[in-house]
Chain A
Amino acid sequence: MDRLLTIAIVGVAALVLTLAWAWMGRRRAAQGRRRLEDALKHLFELEYRGRQASLASLTGALGVRDRVALNLVARMQTQGLLIASASEFKLTSEGERLALQVIRAHRLLERYFADEARLPLPQVHAAAERGEHHLSPEAADRLSASLGHPAVDPHGDPIPTREGFVPPAAGTPATAWPLDRLARVIHLEDEPPISYAQLVAEGIVVGQTIRIIDSSPERLVLTDGENEFRLAPAVAANIFLDAAPDTPARVGAVRLAELATGQAAQVLGLDEQCRGYSRRRLMDLGFTEGATIRAALNTFAGDPRAYEIRGTLVALRRDQASQVLVLPLERAS
C-alpha cells in the first residue's frame, strides 16, 4: 500500500515537472521570437531614419543585457536575417521583409486601437507592442481592409503595404526647423514613451499647424496660434515637421463646443483628429459641410449639450463637440 502511494506521488510529481518544463520551454520560445522580432524592428527603424544601429542601441531598445543581445545578433546571422560587420549591422532582404511584417502589424494595430477601440493615445503603443507578435500577415491584411487601408498610424508613421513598400522617411525634427516658418506636424516619435507622453499631454497632435517662435539650447518655444508650448530640445526633437500646406485659414471658425446655447452655425467640417468610429458616427448623423446646426439644449452640468441638426436633436459630449468646426451665423433676431 505504502509503495503504491509512493509510486503514485512520484508519478504525479514527474508528470507535473514534465508539463511545467514543456510550458516553460514554450514560453521561452515565444519570448525568443518576440525579442527577435523586436530586434528586427529596431534595426529597420534606425536604418529607415538613417541612423546607425549598434549593440548598445539594441540592448537599450530591448531592455536586455549585452549577452542576450549578442546571442540575438548571432541568431539573426545564422538565420540569414542580418549581416554584421565590425562596424555596422545591416538587415538582409529577408530580415527587412520580416521587420516590415512586424511593423505593418504594429502600426495597423495602433490605428485600430486609436480609432476603433478608442484607447487613450499614450496607451496605444504599448497595446500594439503586445499584439504585433500575434498577428499573422493574413490577419494584418484583413485588419487593413476593415480599417479602409489607412496610410499612416496615429503618430504619422507610414504603414508598410502588404508588398513591403514603405515611403522614405519624411519630415524634419523641430530642432532643425527654421524660426517663424509655418509647419505642419507630420510625425510624433513614440519612443521613448516618456517624451511622447509629454507631447500628448501638451496637446501636440499630428496634423497640427505650428510655428517655432524661439529656440535656444535650453528650450524651444512653439505656438499653434493660441497656445505656446515650451519644450526641452530633447523632447522637441521627437516632433517631425513638414512645410504647411497653403490652406486658407477659415476666418471666424469656432469649435461647436464653444457655440453659445441658442446660437446657430454652419458646419465647416470635422477635425483631422476625429477618426475611425467617432468620425463615421458624426458623419452618419449628418455633421457634414454646409449643414445648419443650433446649440439647442443645455444640461445641469453644461455637458453634454443637445444640438439641432437636420431636423433632429443629437446630444454630444464636450469632447465630441470640440471636434466639429463651425462658422457661427448672424443671430436672427
Chain B
Amino acid sequence: MPRAEAAAVLRRAAELRATLDSQFRDETVKSIYAEAERIASRASHHVGTVRYDFDQRVDRIVTSPVFGLPLMALLLAVVFWLTVAGANVPSAMLATGFFWVEDQAATLFTNIGAPWWVTGFIWHGVFRGLAWVVSVMLPPMAIFFPLFTMLEDLGYLPRVAFNLDFLFKRAGAHGKQALTMAMGFGCNAAGIISTRVIDSPRERLVAILTNNFVPCNGRFPTLILLATIFVGPLVPSAFESLAAAGAVVGVVIIGVIFTLAVSWGLSRTVLKGEASAFTLELPPYRRPGILRILYTSLIDRTLFVLWRAALTAAPAGAVIWLLGNITVGDLSLARHIANSLNPLGHAIGLDGVILLAYIIAIPANEIVVPTLLMVYMGTGMMDEGSSLEQIRELLVNTHGWTLLTAVNLMLFSLLHNPCATTIITMYKETLSLKWTVVGTLLPLGLAFLVTFLVASIW
C-alpha cells in the first residue's frame, strides 16, 4: 500500500477511535460469551447434577470456615506420617544391601591388588556417597511424592490457596503465593519459576524472596530423618512415627509463619504496596489417574531429584573422602575445617561438622545428611544392623548431639540459604543481582539469628 494511503487509513482509525464508546471492550467480550453460550447449548445438554452436587458438598467441608484449616493440617500430618512410618524398613534394607556391596567390592579390589587409595576413593568415597543418598532418600520420596501428587491431581491445592488467602492478604502478598509455595514443596527452583502466575511485579518478588521458607524435597529427608531419630523416641514407641510426623508438620507450619512474617516485613519496608487484584479458579474435583500419578511422581519427581542428588553426591563423596584422608599434622583436612568452624557452630547450637556439611552441600541440599555422616565416620565402615538406630548412636554417643542440636538443625535446614540451582533460578527470574543477593543472604541471616536465639534460650 502506498505510504500516503496508509497514513490516511491510520488517521481515519484514530478519528474513529475517538468516537468509540468506552464500553466497547465490554461489548466485545459480552458478545463472545453470548456466542459461546449459544454454541455450547446447541452442542451439549446437561443430564442431572449429581457430580456437581457432590463437588459442592466436598467443597463445603474442605473450605468450611470451621473445618477448613484443621482439615488441612490433618491431611498434611497424615501424608508425613505415612511417609515416616512407611520409609523406615525399606531404608534400612537398602542401606544394608548397599554396604554389603561396598564391603564385597572393596575386598575384591584389595584382593586383586589395587592401591588402597583407588579402593578408598571409588568405594568408600564415591560409591558410599551414592549409597547414602539412595537409601536415605529413595523410600521417603517414593511414598511422599505419589501422595502429594494425588492431592494435587484431586484439585485440593487451589482450595488450600483459597483457605489461606486471608493470611496472605494481611501480609500484603498475593493469594497465589500459596500455590507457588506448594510448588516449592517439590523444589524451590520450580516454585520460583511458578511465581510467573503472579502478575504484579511487587508481589511476585515477595513470593520469589520467600519461597525458600518452604522446605523442598531435598530438605524433607533431612527433616524426616531428624524427626524420626530424635523426636520419635521422646514418646512411647506406639506413637513414635506419629510424633515424628507431627514434628515435620510443625516445621512446615513454622516455615509458613516465616513466609508470612517476611512477606509482611517486605511489604512494609523495601517492597511497599497494597495487596493487588486476586482471582483464583477452583477447578472441579477430578478422579486422580493412578498410573499418571505414579509416572509423574516416580519418574518426574523422585528419579529426577535422586538423579540430581546422585550427580552432586558422587563428587561430594569424592571431596569428602579427600578431605577426610589428606592429613595435615595429625588431623584430617575435614577435621581442621570443622574445628575452625566449631565456635560459630556451637554458638547456634550446632557444630563445625554440620556447617562444613552445609558448605559442601550448597550445590544440592539433598546431600547434607550423607555428608554429615561421612565426615563424622571418617574412613570407618558401617557395621550391619538397623541403619537408623546406628545413625542415632553415632550422633548421640560419639558426637554429643542433643535434642537441641536436632531442633536447631531442623530450623537451620528450613531457613538457611537456598541451594545453588535455586539461586541461579532466582537470578534468571528477577534479572537482578541485588534481589538475588537479598534472596540468598536474608534466609541465611535469619537462620543464624533464629538458631542462635533458640540455643541461647534453651
B165: which of A119, A123, A279, A317 is its contact (CB, 8 Å)?
A317
Cβ contact within 8 Å between B68 and A300:
yes
CB neighbors of B among A288-328 (8 A): 288-291, 296-304, 306, 310, 312-317, 319-320
The residue of chain A having its C-beta at the shortest distance from the C-beta of B170 within the complex is A301
A299-B163, A304-B162, A304-B165 known; A314 vs B33 contact (CB < 8 Å): no
Question: Which chain A residues lie closer than 8 Å to B60 at the CB level?
Answer: 297
Say yes or no for B42: interface residue by CB 8 A criterion: no
A6 to chain B, nearest CB (A): 37
Chain B: residues with Cβ within 8 Å of the partner, total of: 38
Say yes or no for A173: interface residue by CB 8 A criterion: no
Q: Mark B263-296, 1 if CB is under 8 A from A, else 0.
A: 0000000000111111111111000000000000
A117-B200, A286-B33 known; A298 vs B65 contact (CB < 8 Å): yes
Cβ contact within 8 Å between A277 and B65:
no
Question: Which chain B residues lie closer than 8 Å to A303 at the CB level?
Answer: 165-166, 169
Cβ contact within 8 Å between B56 and A288:
no
Q: Mark B359-400, 1 if CB is under 8 A from A, else 0.
A: 000000000000000000000000000000000000000000
Say yes or no for A188: interface residue by CB 8 A criterion: no
The residue of chain B having its C-beta at the shortest distance from the C-beta of A119 within the complex is B273
Question: Which chain A residues lie closer than 8 Å to B330 at the CB level?
Answer: none
Complex alpha-carbon distance, A203 and B278, angstroms:
21
Complex alpha-carbon distance, A252 and B441, angstroms:
55
CB neighbors of A among B123-166 (8 A): 158, 162-163, 165-166
Question: Which chain A residues lie closer than 8 Å to B279 at the CB level?
Answer: 281-282, 285, 314-316, 320
Cβ contact within 8 Å between B59 and A313:
yes
Say yes or no for A269: interface residue by CB 8 A criterion: yes
Say yes or no for A283: interface residue by CB 8 A criterion: yes
A242 to chain B, nearest CB (A): 15
Complex alpha-carbon distance, A299 and B280, angstroms:
14
B282 to chain A, nearest CB (A): 4
A120: which of B22, B59, B274 is its contact (CB, 8 Å)?
B274
Cβ contact within 8 Å between B281 and A313:
yes
Cβ contact within 8 Å between A117 and B166:
no
Cβ contact within 8 Å between B30 and A288:
yes
Question: Which chain A residues lie closer than 8 Å to B158 at the CB level?
Answer: 315
Complex alpha-carbon distance, A117 and B175, angstroms:
17
The residue of chain A having its C-beta at the shortest distance from the C-beta of B52 within the complex is A311
Say yes or no for A36: interface residue by CB 8 A criterion: no
Complex alpha-carbon distance, A55 and B284, angstroms:
66
Question: Which chain A residues lie closer than 8 Å to B175 at the CB level?
Answer: 304, 315, 317
Say yes or no for B79: interface residue by CB 8 A criterion: no
Complex alpha-carbon distance, A219 and B282, angstroms:
49
A303-B166, A315-B282 known; A278 vs B277 contact (CB < 8 Å): yes
The residue of chain A having its C-beta at the shortest distance from the C-beta of B67 within the complex is A300
Q: Mark B58-77, 1 if CB is under 8 A from A, else 0.
A: 01100101001100000000
Question: Which chain B residues lie closer than 8 Å to A313 at the CB level?
Answer: 59, 281-284
The residue of chain A having its C-beta at the shortest distance from the C-beta of B18 within the complex is A151
B281: which of A119, A285, A289 is its contact (CB, 8 Å)?
A285
Question: Which chain B residues lie closer than 8 Å to A302 at the CB level?
Answer: 65
Question: Which chain B residues lie closer than 8 Å to A304 at the CB level?
Answer: 162, 165-166, 169, 175, 278, 280
Complex alpha-carbon distance, A250 and B279, angstroms:
26
Cβ contact within 8 Å between B30 and A289:
yes
Q: Mark B187-228, 1 if CB is under 8 A from A, else 0.
A: 000000000000111000000000000000000000000000
Question: Which chain B residues lie closer than 8 Å to A119 at the CB level?
Answer: 273
Cβ contact within 8 Å between B275 and A288:
no
Cβ contact within 8 Å between A118 and B276:
yes
Cβ contact within 8 Å between B282 and A314:
yes
Say yes or no for A161: interface residue by CB 8 A criterion: yes
The residue of chain A having its C-beta at the shortest distance from the C-beta of B33 within the complex is A288
Cβ contact within 8 Å between B26 and A270:
yes
B81 to chain A, nearest CB (A): 25
Say yes or no for A226: interface residue by CB 8 A criterion: no
Cβ contact within 8 Å between B201 and A117:
yes
Question: Which chain B residues lie closer than 8 Å to A320 at the CB level?
Answer: 277-279
Question: Which chain B residues lie closer than 8 Å to A299 at the CB level?
Answer: 63, 65, 68, 162-163, 165-166
A277-B199, A283-B29 known; A300 vs B69 contact (CB < 8 Å): yes
A178 to chain B, nearest CB (A): 27
Q: Mark B13-37, 1 if CB is under 8 A from A, else 0.
A: 0100110001001100110010000
Question: Which chain B residues lie closer than 8 Å to A282 at the CB level?
Answer: 279
CB neighbors of B among A118-169 (8 A): 118-120, 123, 148-149, 151, 161
Complex alpha-carbon distance, A302 and B26, angstroms:
29
Complex alpha-carbon distance, A117 and B158, angstroms:
24
Contacts A299-B65, A314-B279, A320-B279 given; 12 further ones with Cβ under 8 A? A151-B22, A288-B26, A288-B29, A300-B65, A300-B166, A304-B165, A306-B59, A306-B162, A312-B282, A312-B284, A317-B169, A317-B175
Which 4 pairs of residues, A with B, have the shortest CB-CB distance? A301-B166, A313-B282, A315-B280, A278-B277
- 25 residue pairs from A and B, CB less than 8 Å apart: A117-B200, A118-B200, A120-B274, A270-B26, A278-B277, A285-B281, A286-B33, A289-B26, A296-B56, A299-B63, A299-B65, A299-B162, A300-B69, A300-B166, A301-B166, A304-B169, A306-B59, A306-B63, A306-B282, A313-B284, A315-B175, A315-B282, A317-B275, A317-B277, A317-B278
